[in-house]
Amino acid sequence: GESVGLHLPTLSVQEGDNSIINCAYSNSASDYFIWYKQESGKGPQFIIDIRSNMDKRQGQRVTVLLNKTVKHLSLQIAATQPGDSAVYFCAARAGDYKLSFGAGTTVTVRA
């Protein structure tokens, strides 16, 4: 089965700095990846996704990078704001419909 893990359980970042959250996956057949943001008391919120035929995708203030060679995924948040404080999850899917979730990284933004 798929194993998805985050490199760091917590990340503290100064407001205005860029944040980078890393994730590793085990299944080389994984072909679709999603990053979610979960604020306290809420369900996970879709941030951005990427397919395995791409290595980079950009959204509003966020960029996802995919390195299939080393099975590594990262989420970059530009100019981090207090509202970015949350738990971030990466998830991977290998052909079927099931998502496997990583453990989550708690991002705390310092004013």
**Contact residue for another protein among 12, 28, 45, 108 (CB under 8 A):** 45
Query: Structure tokens of 32?
Result: 């679709």
**Interface with another protein includes 101 (CB under 8 A)?**
yes
**Interface with another protein includes 62 (CB under 8 A)?**
no
CB closer to another protein out of 42 and 70: 42
58-95: burial string, b at 16+ Cβ within 10 Å, e else = eeeebbbbbeeeebebbbbbeebeeebbbbbbbbbbbe
CB of 15 to another protein, least distance (A): 25
* Centroid of chain to Cα 80: 15
**Contact residue for another protein among 44, 73, 75, 94 (CB under 8 A):** 44
- Which residues are near another protein by CB under 8 A? 32, 34, 36, 41-46, 49, 89, 91, 97-99, 101-104
